[in-house]
Structure 1
Amino acid sequence: MKLYLFFFLMTVTSVVTAQRITLSGTVRDAKTGETLIGALVSRQGTSDGVPTNSYGFYALAVAEGRETIVFSYVGYKTQIRELDFSSSQKLDIELDLDENALEEVVVSASKKNKNITSPEIGSFKFNIEEIKHVPVIFGERDLLKTIQLLPGVQSGGEGSANFFVRGGGGDQNLILLDEAIVYNASHLLGFFSTFNSDAVKDVQFYKGGIPAQYGGRISSVMDITMVDGNQKRIAAEGGVGLIASRLKLSGPLPNDRGSFMISGRRTYADLFLKLSNDPDINQSNLYFYDLNAKVNLKVDDRNRLFFSGYFGKDDLGFADRFGFNWGNATATLRWNHIVNDRLFSNTSLIYSEFNYNVGITGNSGGFDIASKIGNWTIKQDFSFYPSNRSTVRFGFNALRQTISPASLDAQEGASVNPIDIEKRHGIDLSAYISHEWKPMDKLSLLYGIRLVDFMVLGPGTFYSFDADGNVIDEQRHARGEVLKHYFNLEPRFSASYVLNSKNSIKGSYNRLAQNLHQLTNATSALPTDQYVLSSLQIKPQLADQFSVGYFRNFKNNNYEFSVETYYKTMANQIDFKTGADLQANSLLEGELLYGKGRSYGLEIFLRKSSGKLNGWISYTLSKSERQFDGINNGSWFNARQDRTHNLSVVAMYRIANNWTLGTNFIFNTGSAVTYPAGKYTINNTTLFYYTERNANRFPNYHRLDISATYEPVENNKRFGSSWTFGVYNAYNRRNAYLIDFRESEANPAITEAYKIALFGIIPSVTWNVKF
């Protein structure tokens, strides 16, 4: 606390001694009017510079007199302005795309050596246009699949959109879409992500050194910003693939008052089912769709309103016997207000929801299972720019969350007893302050603190359990009654020390708390996984992470190299007792075990960012373990997502002006799994006996993907198109999706393992068009 008091005093000092003349404004794309996030504004000949924030706003402190100001952004032509300053000024800038500088790949920065000078560690920024040459399954550009190619990030499995970061669980990643929480980010059980790349402008990903404005998850943050819409003219783009098509339309509002964007995507695999002569097949469902929309309204020079929303749904069904659908919905209303030339305000009202429904019909009737989770959030964020070397961010957040657990309803005429599980409610209040400060040319700091108060709310019946999971007490609480407060203080600290213009060392410490828990006993997240809030029995998950890294650029910043190591401890982790009943169980908390976790590892990253050949290599050596008193006799055991080695190689090569080749090679150690140690027979039924948890491994996983993109030269500059040809799993590797066991047909005394592979080789072709 003394250390944070010292830094707070330094923050106050930097504010008091700040320069008085400020140049502020917004940086945009000259062609579309989109704000540019992370563009650099600097005084020529100095090391002082400021990046634009998430809304394109900047505030640069300048001296009185004549100054030369430089505006730059990766892939755009730099602008230089000569300005006279006697008082603060407002200047909006539009940058033109540099057609000769489009060879960057997925990971980008606003300054060529920002990875050296920035205090951020374990973070990556994505430009959506730059992932179009990365091969993915079915030829669909996919944010979550691309993130899985970074060091410290592991795939949830073959075709899965789920991912694990630095040994954490899939539910420990905070995914935001225009500030709204996305609870389930997958379509078709994980083969696609919910994010239509046409509707996304910018992605910021943190796995270490997480800034204080983010909270609620203990592993990572993925902050996604949707495009605002073309403010210059009506424009459209889309694509047609083998199983899905997409279309985006955007344009200006009348009288130059802003812009709009609407984008949709749908698969049509279900249309092929209609061709079948089998009535069970042609009456089945297999599709998803999603819709993104955004309106950007300019009130005046200091005020803008944004309304954005997302709606997506999956529908799977087999004839009239089985139906399964799930979906996400988000809505965000934001007010950007420039209070003065140094203070920027963002006020947001947010709604987010995820729900699923399962219907099963049998000969004696059927039943439906339904569940829903939703929240309302109001948040206020301020950004204050006292000087070019100092940025202060502060604000508060209030989130009310409601979970409707899986409940069972009988269909008409069915002999099934309905089960209605009570809703659970909670309020998450938080406030934060952070300071990014450069006290000297070689040293940069980013430190802050976040205070969280989670309140467990009524109404409902709450139970207490003994060590065996038996109910020993129950109490009924009224609506709005506060049953318990969980207070957590989350300090955040990151630092970078520049050895010279090409080398730096960085370090960080984070404490994070999480009050939403996902209960799953599968490696890959499923839409039917249960969510629970912290309660009288379930405590908030806590994580403390230390990381340190060495960063180096060479050959005029065209090559970036980094090596990071981390150690993370996790408290109040959840697992299940053997034979736990998870669905429609009002006494679910009695089935849970509570323990702790730890993970540690080494991450190596090498990237080439320019030239005909570019791409990156990432390698992770890691360990992730858990400890529970009721599992493995209290000894540490491998987490399900533990993989020792994880290697990704991504390369893109521009053969000519209109042809680009892309390739991925992926290798990782098989995930931890529990195999039976023996078997026994009861009433002529063979049952398997299990001992040590997660002591075995799936076979090693490896795969090669290849793509080729053809972009013809069009005579009409307003029309453009491209063709992308891809091969997923090019050498037809049959990677294990599931390992199961059965008695040998030849000799029932022998138990044999068998492998289920999900995918072999998959070709794809997509036609993309823009006009």
Structure 2
Amino acid sequence: MRIIFTLLLLLGSTGLLHAQEKHTISGYVREKGSSETLIGVVVYCPGTSISTTTNTYGFYSLTLPASDSVTLVFSYLGYRPETRRLSLSRPVELNIDLLPDAALQEVEVIGHRQERVSESALMSTIDVPVAQIKNIPTLLGEKDVMKVLQLMPGVQKGSEGNSGIYVRGGSPDQNLIILDDATVYNSSHLFGFFSLFNGDALKSVELTKGGFPARYGGRLSSVIDLNMKDGNKEEFHGEGGIGLISSRLMLEGPLSKGKSSFLVSGRRTYVDVLMQPFMDMDGRGGYYFYDLNTKLNYDFGQKNKLYLSGYFGQDRFYYVEKFDRNKTRGGIDWGNATGTLRWNHLFNDRLFANTSLIFSRYRFNINLEEEYEDGDHFRLNYFSGIQDLAIKYDVDFLPNPQHAIKAGFQSTFHRFNPSAIVVKDSEINRTDRDVDNVDGVQSAVYVEDTWRPRPDLRLNAGLRLSHFATGNKNYFMPEPRLAAAYNIKPDLAVKASYARMNQYVHLLSNTGIGLPTDLWVPTTDLVAPQASQQVAVGLAKDFLEQDLALTLEGYYKKSDNIIGYKEGASFMMVDDPESAEKVRWEDNVTSGQGWSYGVEMLLQRKVGLFSGWVGYTLSWTQLQFDSLNFGQKFYARYDRRHDVSVVGVYQLSDRTTLSGTWVYGTGNAISLPIGYYSSNPNNPNATEGQYTYNDQVTYYGDRNSYRMPAYHRMDIGIQFHKQKRWGERTWEISLYNAYSRKNPFFIYMTDEYGNDGQVNRKLKQVALFPIIPSVSWGFKF
């Protein structure tokens, strides 16, 4: 940290040399009517190349030459621009309230200016407006952030209905998912069919696929940064909805008007409640999940602000059986809990700091309880998971319009539970408790600078030093980052980036689809940290009159020390949890390499009556493990040669919104048997393929050498809005898989006996979702 603050001091001194010639305009940008801070508002001087954007907490700072008259424009997507003229003879504190204008007309959009893709030094970064996410049709009408991100180029979906994402060839655990600074380890409900992020509580969503700024680290493939709303400081408001499988409600309002506010958002499914009347009294079961987002904040003035936010969610399968006087109950549950306490402090008009105390926990649990008529009982509880306690400190230093410096550090104490089992048996009066905890400390210090040495050139250069300690083993890893953008024309830029990343926590998975039974484990003296290097080049073009942005990128990523199970190995045995603690996970894994490369195209429009995007990806992903596939390279399961997504949202009128998506993707790569042979050399009929099931040995060829049929699907939706005296009512009708394409969920080999007694082996496909209609009722007040 000494190096970082020395650099800040030197740069600050450079700015002070010109203090007599320059002054700083700084402040916060908020939404008018709610005082919600706005992220990424563009602040610029018309007719010049001088501009900045607000940070995560709505703060901006511009240092300009002293002048009798300075014009600033504040512009943000979905809000009416604000223009201010002022005298700059001294430092100015200027807070701005922007008026929401969700129904911008085409004539109004002409004067609207958002941050252009050709102006940013960063590349491989996509933000999707939350309002747009809510208009996109999804499965059973559940608005799903992760499903929308799957529609972006470079982001692959797993299998049908799966909310896990695979970014530029990476696995689900290589995505850093952050909610208000807290890491979320499992981002899905219902074994991956729905994500846990409730759009009603979100303010912003940003996906970074490459060219990572130095402030991010700990994963190889992507960063998904989500920020919750702060809560309305001026008025009490609510929003909610009732759908086919769940209902949701969000409430927000002031605790002290203009200074403090709260936000509470909840969602729960109720299929279990609806099914109860149809179940046998001697045997009941069900499933549900719930989410709860909460946030409190207090504004102590221009210098200090305090935020407290949390997320709590759980999935639960349960059953109860009765037989005579014996009773058995059990279930599986898993869930996340996060909590973040953040303190913003403004040292001066150029130096902004945030301190965060963070808690995060993910836990998977299997429980079984048996009660007998003689009073004895047996209880078993098996669980695994990961828990974090972290501190994070970040500073934004804005000495002049040419430099935007970020620096900070983070330290996280991890406690891994690869295996924990508790058994209580009253019959033998015995309690066994075998808890396997592994502790580790992950830390990092970073500095980055977005530097504009000339009007047509922007650079983002940074260095992150990461460290991981567990047991007697310490890893120190430097992670250099560099991104550059050169404007050939004001609306056309060529970009390039390089990033090195390291990952110290790993997810062991047999399935590769991010099930809750997957196991989080740390780097050890036997398992090295995963590492990657990624380079990318591209073009960014803004079509200003049409409000379109086009990006074209090519990338190459090399990954080392990626891990997976050895052939036939497993760790998490749901059907036999007592034996799980006997397995040493390090002995069951192997490490290898990965290569991912491809080209991505995105044409996007965020404003106007018609918005949406078209994305296309051409990519290759190969893996190589010494102990798998005879040491030869093979295509990853979710290697997808072609991936296309088309998304459109059309505001037909103030009362009607139409939306639709169409996706196409090359089929997943899987392994299938190519032959059988007998393990019994004495079987006289083995040469003719006539042997018993016990003699049969399946022979597989190269790993993942078979392609499933291509995946494609269309979803359509329509929303009907109506203003009521109390607020707004919305009916939404949608069709998932509108032309009922039978997309493969999995494929298997089966034996069918013909009339002649011969065995015919056939491939069969299981499709999961046909056309699925849904209807929901939503409201705002």
CA distance, structure 2, for counterparts of residue 16 and residue 76 of structure 1: 35
* 1:658/1:55 CA distance change after superposition, 3 Å: same
Which residue of structure 2 lines up, in the alignment, with residue 593 of structure 1? 590
Question: Where does structure 2 lack aligned partners over 5 or more consecutive residues?
Answer: 322-328, 373-377, 573-579, 680-691
Paired residues of 1:113 and 1:557 also in contact (CA < 8 A): no
* 1:620/1:419 CA distance change after superposition, 3 Å: farther
- Helix, strand or coil: the match of 1:22? strand
CA RMSD, aligned part only? 2.5
Which has the higher mean CA deviation after the structures are superposed, 359-368 or 665-674? 359-368
Which residue of structure 2 lines up, in the alignment, with residue 750 of structure 1? 760
Which residue of structure 2 lines up, in the alignment, with residue 525 of structure 1? 514
Which residue of structure 2 lines up, in the alignment, with residue 315 of structure 1? 316
Which has the higher mean CA deviation after the structures are superposed, 175-184 or 354-363? 354-363
Q: Aligned ranges for residues 341-740 of structure 1 at < 5 Å?
A: 341-359=349-367, 367-410=380-423, 412=425, 420=434, 422-457=436-471, 483-554=472-543, 556-583=545-572, 584=580, 585-680=582-677, 684-685=693-694, 686-714=696-724, 716=725, 719-740=727-748
Identity level (%): 40
- Helix, strand or coil: the match of 1:146? helix
Which residue of structure 2 lines up, in the alignment, with residue 76 of structure 1? 79
| Deviation at residue 57 of structure 1 after TM alignment | 0.3
CA distance, structure 2, for counterparts of residue 687 and residue 279 of structure 1: 45
- Helix, strand or coil: the match of 2:300? strand
- Does residue 85 in structure 1 map to residue 88 in structure 2? yes
| Deviation at residue 143 of structure 1 after TM alignment | 0.6
| Deviation at residue 630 of structure 1 after TM alignment | 1.4
| Deviation at residue 60 of structure 1 after TM alignment | 1.0
Which residue of structure 1 lines up, in the alignment, with residue 104 of structure 2? 101
CA distance, structure 2, for counterparts of residue 418 and residue 691 of structure 1: 45
Which residue of structure 2 lines up, in the alignment, with residue 472 of structure 1? none
Which has the higher mean CA deviation after the structures are superposed, 53-62 or 129-138? 129-138
Aligned residues: 734
What amino acid is aligned across from residue 665 of structure 2 in structure 1?
A: N
CA distance, structure 1, for counterparts of residue 99 and residue 536 of structure 2: 38
- Helix, strand or coil: the match of 1:274? helix
- Helix, strand or coil: the match of 1:420? strand
| Deviation at residue 220 of structure 1 after TM alignment | 0.2
- Helix, strand or coil: the match of 1:167? coil
Which residue of structure 1 lines up, in the alignment, with residue 375 of structure 2? none
Which residue of structure 2 lines up, in the alignment, with residue 303 of structure 1? 304
What amino acid is aligned across from residue 640 of structure 1 in structure 2?
A: R
Which residue of structure 2 lines up, in the alignment, with residue 468 of structure 1? none
- Does residue 146 in structure 1 map to residue 148 in structure 2? yes
CA distance, structure 2, for counterparts of residue 753 and residue 656 of structure 1: 49
CA distance, structure 2, for counterparts of residue 689 and residue 558 of structure 1: 56
Q: TM-score, normalised by structure 1?
A: 0.91
Paired residues of 1:355 and 1:370 also in contact (CA < 8 A): yes
| Deviation at residue 671 of structure 1 after TM alignment | 1.1
* 1:233/1:713 CA distance change after superposition, 3 Å: closer
Correspondent of 1:274 among 276, 295, 303: 276
What amino acid is aligned across from residue 427 of structure 1 in structure 2?
A: V
What amino acid is aligned across from residue 286 of structure 1 in structure 2?
A: Y
Correspondent of 1:158 among 160, 174, 177: 160
| Deviation at residue 693 of structure 1 after TM alignment | 1.3
- Does residue 294 in structure 1 map to residue 295 in structure 2? yes
* 1:261/1:611 CA distance change after superposition, 3 Å: closer
CA distance, structure 2, for counterparts of residue 239 and residue 71 of structure 1: 34
Q: TM-score, normalised by structure 2?
A: 0.90
Q: Deviations over 1:12-51 (max 9, x none)?
A: 8975666641111100000211001011122233220110
CA distance, structure 1, for counterparts of residue 151 and residue 720 of structure 2: 24
CA distance, structure 1, for counterparts of residue 116 and residue 630 of structure 2: 48
CA distance, structure 1, for counterparts of residue 191 and residue 537 of structure 2: 36
CA distance, structure 2, for counterparts of residue 526 and residue 750 of structure 1: 34
What amino acid is aligned across from residue 457 of structure 2 in structure 1?
A: L
CA distance, structure 2, for counterparts of residue 573 and residue 218 of structure 1: 10
* 1:729/1:363 CA distance change after superposition, 3 Å: farther
Which residue of structure 2 lines up, in the alignment, with residue 465 of structure 1? none
CA distance, structure 2, for counterparts of residue 194 and residue 91 of structure 1: 38
Larger gyration radius, structure 1 or structure 2:
2
CA distance, structure 1, for counterparts of residue 13 and residue 643 of structure 2: 46
* 1:307/1:213 CA distance change after superposition, 3 Å: same
| Deviation at residue 678 of structure 1 after TM alignment | 2.0
Which residue of structure 1 lines up, in the alignment, with residue 325 of structure 2? none
Which residue of structure 2 lines up, in the alignment, with residue 767 of structure 1? 777
Q: Deviations over 1:655-702 (max 9, x none)?
A: 222111111111101111111122245674244222321111222111
| Deviation at residue 299 of structure 1 after TM alignment | 2.0
Which residue of structure 1 lines up, in the alignment, with residue 216 of structure 2? 214
Which residue of structure 2 lines up, in the alignment, with residue 476 of structure 1? none
CA distance, structure 2, for counterparts of residue 276 and residue 549 of structure 1: 58
| Deviation at residue 100 of structure 1 after TM alignment | 3.7
Which has the higher mean CA deviation after the structures are superposed, 15-24 or 149-158? 15-24
- Does residue 117 in structure 1 map to residue 131 in structure 2? no
- Does residue 254 in structure 1 map to residue 243 in structure 2? no
What amino acid is aligned across from residue 148 of structure 1 in structure 2?
A: Q
Q: Deviations over 1:245-300 (max 9, x none)?
A: 1111111122543111011110101112112143476x212110110000011123
* 1:301/1:562 CA distance change after superposition, 3 Å: closer
* 1:102/1:767 CA distance change after superposition, 3 Å: farther
CA distance, structure 1, for counterparts of residue 776 and residue 17 of structure 2: 57
Q: Deviations over 1:187-229 (max 9, x none)?
A: 1111211101111101121001111111110100011100000
Paired residues of 1:378 and 1:397 also in contact (CA < 8 A): yes
* 1:241/1:18 CA distance change after superposition, 3 Å: farther
CA distance, structure 2, for counterparts of residue 306 and residue 8 of structure 1: 26
Paired residues of 1:14 and 1:387 also in contact (CA < 8 A): no
Which residue of structure 2 lines up, in the alignment, with residue 477 of structure 1? none
Q: Deviations over 1:500-527 (max 9, x none)?
A: 1221110100000000000112131100
* 1:103/1:36 CA distance change after superposition, 3 Å: farther
